[in-house]
Amino acid sequence: MTSSSVLDLAAVVPVVVLEDAADAVPLARALVAGGLPAIEVTLRTAAALDAIEAIAAEVPGAVVGAGTVISARNVSDTVAAGARFLVSPGWTDSLLDAMKASEVPFLPGVSTTSEVVALLERGVSEMKFFPAEAAGGTAYLKALSAPLPQARFCPTGGISLASAPTYLALPNVGCVGGSWMVPGDAVAAKDWARVERLAGEAAALRD
């Protein structure tokens, strides 16, 4: 799988924060059943690595990735746990080197034109645009598409079911990241049917 296939797996990549690794497998199964196979589990909780490992082992239809990757240690730990792609909120030279060395597809985070140009200089053309809404949203990405058409993005941060189609209509957007299909109250209630329904609505955005 190349990094471009991360952008092309689904219209939406769920951004998942799990407090309890026991929720990982049923949550992932609900997302896959709804049509969202690419799942970004963020490293914001102590349960994240165990959650990635469980999804990788027990949900064959899922392509599990790791988000909030900010160090070489994060790269090695998540790949060892079974992560099949990596997403960072930003990047440094050392982090980029570690992600490249992992041979796992990755989306380094950018929010400025200079960061985009610097990544293109390093041979990276696929990126996360974060925090999307706060950093200028669709207007900013549309402005980038003319001078930097070779850059493709997965915007994440503040995107909703209502705003996602505007992003997806842009020529330089491959997918969007969001958490609206995994609301905290649904996860806490283990309401996997609701998660599957919301995932189905998100997956249909590509049609």
34 burial (CB, 10 Å; 0-12 / 13-18 / 19+) is buried
Active-site hit among 40, 53, 126, 196: 40
Could you count the other beta carbons within 10 Å of the beta carbon of residue 22? 14
Residues paired with 41 in a beta bridge:
16, 66
> Which residues touch 186 (CB under 8 Å, ≥6 apart)?
194, 195, 198
C-alpha distance from residue 28 to each of 12, 107, 134, 151 (Å): 14, 21, 28, 29
Is 100 part of the annotated catalytic residue set?
Answer: no
Is 40 part of the annotated catalytic residue set?
Answer: yes
Tokens 């490249």 correspond to: 100
Active-site hit among 53, 126, 128, 196: 128
Return the active site residues.
Answer: 40, 128
